């Protein structure tokens, strides 16, 4: 379907060829001036014919019709037309053209009044924008995968086929990628019958028959990265993939190749003359492709304008097909054999002839032609104007890893400025435009690439076809004479004309990179594939310098547009990132837990037994722990097995406090610093044997601490014999907390002797229950009597259920993350919100923990004067003084009576309702810390325009002497 009208085409057609065959030559309106545009090219370089494909969530804007393979059910429409292409209101803008020079948007709308851009912007975007993206979810499936090969050949034209054949014959595994739906490259535009086509068919058959060659069609190499890694985009639109069956529309392939052969060919350039953008003006090679490959007459009366030999082949094919063709070559001297070949098929050959301006508006109707050495301007009628300004090797990928292309005068084009190790060029990309020379370079590249991969079986070159093969010559493009009239476009997609280039030059934006940003030349979906070289030529002429001095732009990935969907692959929805589940996960779901994301973890937030929402539930859960006994999942804590004779010394180095003297059967709370003396993490380490320790870290820093310990042991302290192994996944953890915790343990697990004498505060012991090891650490995060139980993860649910069942009489219930965090605030324990890698030990009120008689990581830099300054923001407790108000995390703290402006004197890190105190309490960081204890301050929360009074108090809100811990 095309714009709700059915469109007929043939298999192998592109959207562009089918539309041309159906007589549609108006492909859209231009970006800035809304000029009617046709099809300039027949491939990826197309700047004009951008269509919107698909409907609803499948909508893909800005797709070149020239690369869109026609398939049953394709829905396409033209874009950048308001309200439609054929009746274009925006076309009125073309009357205002003199007001729209380069830099127009910014100059006109950015000032003088600030804000005027904001006002105009929607209008400009609507009139000038390209296609529009949609908000609906894309229902199609996209995938990513990795692939490996010896030799990756990019481009399936004659050079790519010959290179693949040579590399494979030498014994290398070869992947040959071709963005088109068929192999053959430029040969596909040759006559459909004849010696050349026979030769192509035979070469394709030979390559496909090789067992070590994998051919990937409809696959574009989008970017080349370090280590010869290449991003490929595989398209499957032609299969109409059904996402419901798991069929992908596009697959982004990360191809790891040992060697790369660039056989990317070359693209023809337009000529720059007045009104060179009229529909019906196209590249000579495109006309040839439409004629030969798609059997579409692109016109009946053609003109071929050129400065090089390449277009003569197109002219001859057009003439043979019965299309009248005068050829206008700007050169005085053209190879006589070429002229004879053209005349033999009835071509009117004119040398020294320069097209200065096209005629016609919605379609080309003729051209004005100047003849060298004569002031006479001739008018020639036509309905198709084929142009060729020479050929630009497709060097983009070769420069992705940082090698700038270099200019070659003899072919008037840039070629790769060398190749990275393991990379090779074959054919036109390296400037070899004649077929026989291209094939020789391809065979050499294939052999060299195979050799680079360690394969060196002998192989002869691919024999060239028995057809006439001329060396390529060209004369540099001549500037269109002044006063010829009309707009001479350099960049069609961005509507950049010769006048814009002159203006950029006058205003000092003469460097190519500046020109690009000033005029937008070379931006957009085609990235200047047809415009870059012409712009460089013109700017070099304006500056009076050579091409090499004028420079070239840097090519960056992607070579052609890549859909966001392909980059995301299947990492969407709940696959966006991996989710870590506690060994108790299924049990939480069964117990009615509301779950919450905590870093990569899914953790129980609160349980429905305690209330219908978090705000109601967590206070009930807190009351349970303070008054009876609760059970919480702490499996997400990092756990590290630390072993061996030097383990004690190791722990003594990484913790600020002493661990050398920790006896077996005891646990100790410890804090680790980074080298710069900021706090890295806190946790406990228990000693279970002479050389065996069990370290826990915070959930958030588990991976960080593990890598840090490994770093120290493997790079700095290699003399220490210590083994560290992460056992986070091996051991499930649960905390049983509350005044009845010991009684609950006695009921549920009588095998465990939890009497105060056997397991005093900070005691750590291993038990075996029913053959299952259980590690019990008597330590508390909540401030209540509490035990941490660790059990091999597979038994976690069984242990959890046993505790809940057997201690049910004591009122035991599970409690979640919200209550866990609130209980620790009441007790004044710091956690992730306070441990933000910026605070020091002293900022957190933990300075006294640091040992004075030993070295520890971070000791020296901790002594820095700035870190000891009395005005540092340090830990305080805050009590809300307004019964009807609440404190909020992130609130900014100000002294009483001070203006509420700027960054204040600190901020609130953690807040909770205190069930014990009957008010909101918080932890925060305040300038000068507890030196201000007792002072009343203001907690400002600008987002809600709240100011709440609070008092600075000790962060230990409950049981400051720890009596509850020692019962």
Partner 1 sequence: MFERRSPLAPQLAGGGRDGADGRRSMRIGEARGWHLIQIGAHRRSGAALAAAVGRLCGCALPSSPRIVTACGAHRLYRIAADQYWIVTHDAAVTAALARAITPDVGASTALTHARVRLVIEGAAATALLARIVPIDLRSAALPVGSFAQTGVQHACVLLERSDAQRYELYVLRTYAVSTWEWILDSAMPYGYDVHVAQTEQ
Partner 2 sequence: MATGPTGNDGMLRIPCPHCGERDYTEFRYGGDASKIRPPHGTADARAWQEYVFLFDNPKGAHLEYWQHVLGCRQWLVLERDTATNAVGKAHLARSQGSP
**Residues near partner 2, by CB under 8 A:** 144, 222-223, 225-227, 229, 231-233, 252-254, 256, 401-402, 421, 556-558, 562, 567-571, 576-578, 653, 675-676, 703, 707, 710-711, 713-718, 855, 857, 860-861, 863-864
Contact 398, 262 (CB under 8 A): yes
Beta bridge partners, 950, equal 880, 937
Q: How far is the CB of 707 from partner 2 (least distance, A)?
A: 6
Shortest reach from residue 567's CB to partner 2, in Å: 5
Q: What is the 3-state secondary structure (H, E, C) of 304-335?
A: EEECECHHHHHHHHHHHCCCECEEEECCCCCC
Strand residues in 634-718 grouped as ranges (E): 638-643, 667-673, 679-689, 692-697
Q: How far apart are CA 967 and CA 965, in angstroms?
A: 6
Least distance between partner 2 and beta carbon 630 (Å): 36
- Distance (Å, rounded) from C-alpha 371 to C-alpha 384? 20
Number of residues in contact with partner 1 under rule CB under 8 A = 55
861 binds, options partner 2, partner 1, none, Cβ within 5 to 8 A by partner type: partner 2
Residue 686's nearest CA partner among 779, 769, 786 is 779
To the nearest whole angstrom, how small is the minimum distance from the Cβ of residue 569 to partner 1?
A: 9
Which one among 121, 586, 805, 836 touches partner 1, defined by CB under 8 A?
A: 586
Task: Candidates 207-215, 452-460, 567-575, 920-928: pick the segment binding partner 1 (CB under 8 A).
Answer: 567-575
Cis ω on the peptide bond leading into residue 666 (within 30° of 0)?
A: no
Q: Coil, helix or strand for 22?
A: coil
* Closest distance of CB 701 from partner 2, Å: 14
- CB nearer to partner 1: give 69 or 633: 633
Give the angle 221-223-228 at the CA atoms, nearest 5°. 95
Using CB under 8 A, pick the residue from 730, 882, 936, 946 that binds partner 1. Answer: 730
Taking the CB of residue 643, how many other CB atoms lie within 10 A of it?
16
Contact between 257 and partner 1 by CB under 8 A: the answer reads no
806 binds partner 1 (CB under 8 A): no
Q: Which two tokens stand for residue 874?
A: 């340090």
Shortest Cβ distance from residue 575 to partner 1 (Å)? 6
Q: Looking at residue 655, what DSSP letter applies?
A: B
Residue 119 contact among partner 1, partner 2, none, beta carbon within 5 to 8 Å by kind = none
Q: How far apart are CA 679 and CA 135, in angstroms?
A: 44
Does residue 245 belong to the site contacting partner 1 (CB under 8 A)?
yes
Q: Is 376 in the site for partner 1 (CB under 8 A)?
A: no
| By the rule CB under 8 A, 110 interacts with partner 1 | no
Q: Is 592 in the site for partner 1 (CB under 8 A)?
A: no
Number of Cβ atoms within 10 Å of the Cβ of 473: 18
Which residues make Cβ contacts (< 8 Å) with residue 258, sequence separation at least 6? 149, 150, 151, 228, 422, 452, 453
Q: Which among partner 1, partner 2, none contacts residue 798 (Cβ within 5 to 8 A by kind)?
A: partner 1
Closest distance of CB 425 from partner 2, Å? 19
Q: How far apart are the first and last CA of the chain?
A: 80
Torsion of CA 304, 307, 312, 318, to 10 degrees: -10
Find which of partner 1, partner 2, none residue 676 binds, CB within 5 to 8 Å per kind. Answer: partner 2
Can residue 688 be called a binding residue for partner 1 (CB under 8 A)? no
Least distance from C-beta 579 to partner 2, angstroms?
A: 12
- Smallest gap from residue 307 Cβ to partner 2 (A): 36
Phi-psi region of 430 (alpha: psi -120 to 50; beta: other; left: phi over 0): alpha
Cα–Cα distance between 912 and 621 in angstroms, integer? 13
> Mask 160-199, x = binds partner 1 (CB under 8 A)?
-------------x--------------------------
Query: For residue 521, is the peptide bond before it cis, meaning its omega torsion is within 30 degrees of 0?
Result: no
Q: Could you say whether residue 390 binds partner 1 (CB under 8 A)?
A: no
CB of 251 to partner 1, least distance (A): 9
Give CA 310 to chain center in angstroms: 39
- Token digits of residue 515: 């020109």
Q: Give me the least distance between CB of 666 and partner 1, in Å please.
A: 19
Q: Pick one of partner 1, partner 2, none as the site partner of residue 716 (Cβ within 5 to 8 A by kind).
A: partner 2
Piece in contact with partner 1 (CB under 8 A), picked from 143-151, 159-167, 413-421, 545-553: 143-151
Interface ranges with partner 1 (CB under 8 A):
143-148, 173, 242, 245-248, 254, 256, 570, 574-575, 577-583, 585-586, 601, 635, 641, 643-645, 690-691, 721, 723, 725, 727-731, 769-772, 792-799, 802
């Amino acid at each position: 379907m095309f714009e709700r009208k059915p469109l007929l085409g043939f298999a192998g057609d592109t959207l562009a060829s089918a539309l041309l065959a159906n007589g549609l030559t108006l492909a859209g309106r231009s970006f800035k001036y809304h000029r009617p545009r046709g099809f300039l090219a027949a491939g990826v370089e197309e700047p004009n014919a951008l269509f919107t494909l698909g409907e609803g969530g499948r909508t893909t804007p800005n797709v070149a019709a020239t690369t869109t393979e026609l398939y049953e059910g394709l829905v396409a429409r033209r874009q950048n037309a308001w309200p439609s292409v054929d009746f274009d209101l925006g076309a009125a803008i073309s009357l205002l053209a003199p007001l729209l020079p380069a830099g127009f948007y910014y100059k006109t709308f950015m000032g003088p009044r600030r804000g005027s851009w904001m006002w105009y912007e929607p209008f400009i975007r609507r009139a000038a924008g390209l296609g529009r993206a949609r908000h609906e979810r894309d229902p199609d499936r996209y995938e990513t995968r990795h692939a490996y090969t010896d030799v990756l050949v990019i481009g399936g034209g004659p050079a790519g086929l010959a290179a693949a054949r040579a590399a494979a014959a030498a014994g290398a595994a070869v992947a040959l990628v071709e963005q088109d739906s068929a192999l053959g490259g430029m040969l596909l535009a040759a006559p459909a019958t004849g010696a050349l086509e026979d030769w192509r068919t035979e070469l394709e058959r030979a390559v496909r028959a090789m067992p070590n060659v994998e051919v990937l069609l409809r696959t574009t190499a989008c970017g080349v990265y370090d280590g010869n890694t290449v991003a490929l985009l595989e398209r499957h639109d032609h299969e109409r993939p059904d996402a419901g069956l798991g069929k992908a529309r596009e697959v982004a392939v990360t191809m790891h190749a040992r060697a790369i052969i660039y056989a990317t060919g070359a693209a023809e350039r337009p000529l720059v003359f007045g009104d060179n953008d009229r529909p019906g003006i196209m590249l000579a090679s495109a006309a040839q492709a439409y004629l030969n490959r798609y059997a579409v007459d692109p016109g009946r009366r053609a003109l071929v304008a050129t400065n090089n030999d390449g277009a003569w082949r197109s002219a001859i094919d057009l003439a043979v097909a019965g299309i009248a063709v005068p050829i206008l070559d700007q050169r005085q001297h053209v190879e006589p054999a070429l002229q004879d070949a053209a005349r033999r098929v009835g071509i009117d050959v004119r040398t020294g002839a320069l097209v200065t301006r096209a005629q016609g508006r919605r379609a080309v109707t003729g051209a004005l032609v100047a003849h060298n050495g004569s002031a006479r301007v001739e008018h020639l009628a036509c309905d198709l104007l084929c142009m060729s300004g020479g050929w630009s090797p497709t060097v983009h990928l070769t420069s992705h890893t940082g090698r700038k292309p270099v200019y070659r005068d003899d072919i008037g084009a840039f070629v790769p400025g060398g190749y990275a190790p393991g990379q090779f060029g074959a054919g036109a990309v390296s400037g070899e435009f004649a077929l026989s020379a291209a094939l020789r370079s391809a065979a050499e590249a294939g052999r060299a690439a195979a050799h680079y991969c360690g394969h060196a079986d002998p192989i002869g070159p691919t024999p060239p076809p028995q057809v006439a093969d001329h060396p390529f010559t060209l004369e540099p493009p001549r500037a269109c004479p002044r006063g010829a009239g009309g707009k001479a476009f350099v960049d069609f997609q961005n509507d950049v004309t010769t006048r814009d280039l002159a203006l950029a030059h006058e205003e000092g934006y003469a460097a190519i990179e500046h020109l690009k940003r000033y005029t937008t030349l070379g931006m957009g979906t085609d990235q200047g594939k047809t415009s870059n070289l012409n712009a460089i030529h013109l700017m070099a002429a304006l500056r009076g310098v050579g091409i090499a001095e004028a420079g070239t732009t840097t090519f960056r990935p992607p070579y052609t547009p890549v859909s966001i969907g392909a980059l995301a692959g299947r990492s969407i929805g709940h696959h966006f990132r991996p989710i870590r589940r506690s060994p108790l996960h299924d049990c939480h779901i069964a117990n009615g837990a509301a779950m919450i994301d905590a870093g990569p973890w899914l953790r129980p937030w609160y349980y429905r037994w305690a209330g219908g929402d978090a705000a109601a539930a967590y206070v009930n859960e807190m009351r349970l722990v303070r008054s009876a006994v609760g059970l919480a999942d702490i499996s997400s804590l990092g756990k590290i097995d630390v072993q061996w004779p030097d383990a004690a010394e190791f722990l003594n180095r990484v913790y600020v406090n002493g661990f050398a003297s920790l006896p077996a059967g005891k646990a100790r709370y410890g804090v680790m610093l980074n080298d710069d003396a900021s706090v890295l993490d806190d946790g406990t380490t228990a000693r279970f044997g002479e050389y065996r320790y069990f370290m826990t870290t915070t959930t958030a820093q588990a991976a960080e601490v593990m890598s840090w310990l490994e770093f120290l042991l493997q790079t700095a302290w290699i003399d220490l014999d210590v083994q560290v192994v992460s056992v986070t996944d091996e051991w499930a953890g649960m905390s049983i907390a509350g005044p009845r915790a010991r009684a609950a343990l006695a009921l549920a697990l009588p095998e465990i002797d939890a009497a105060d004498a056997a397991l005093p505060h900070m005691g750590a012991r291993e038990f075996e229950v029913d053959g299952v090891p259980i590690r019990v650490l008597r330590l508390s995060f909540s401030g209540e009597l509490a035990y941490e139980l660790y059990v091999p993860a597979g038994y976690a649910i069984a242990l959890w259920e046993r505790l809940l069942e057997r201690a049910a009489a004591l009122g035991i219930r599970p409690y979640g993350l919200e209550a866990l965090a609130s209980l620790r605030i009441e007790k004044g324990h710091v956690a992730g919100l306070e441990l933000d890698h910026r605070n020091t030990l002293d900022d957190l009120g933990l300075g006294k923990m640091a040992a004075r008689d030993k070295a520890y990581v971070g000791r020296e830099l901790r002594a820095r004067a700035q870190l000891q300054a009395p005005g540092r923001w340090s830990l305080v407790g805050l009590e809300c003084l307004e019964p009807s108000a609440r404190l909020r995390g992130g609130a900014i703290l100000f002294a009483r009576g001070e203006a509420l402006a700027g960054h204040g004197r600190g901020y609130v890190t953690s807040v909770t309702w205190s069930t014990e105190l009957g008010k909101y309490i918080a932890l925060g960081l305040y300038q000068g810390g507890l030196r201000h204890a007792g002072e009343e301050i203001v907690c400002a929360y600008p987002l809600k325009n709240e100011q709440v009074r609070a008092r600075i108090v000790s962060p230990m809100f409950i049981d400051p002497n720890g009596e509850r811990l020692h019962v």
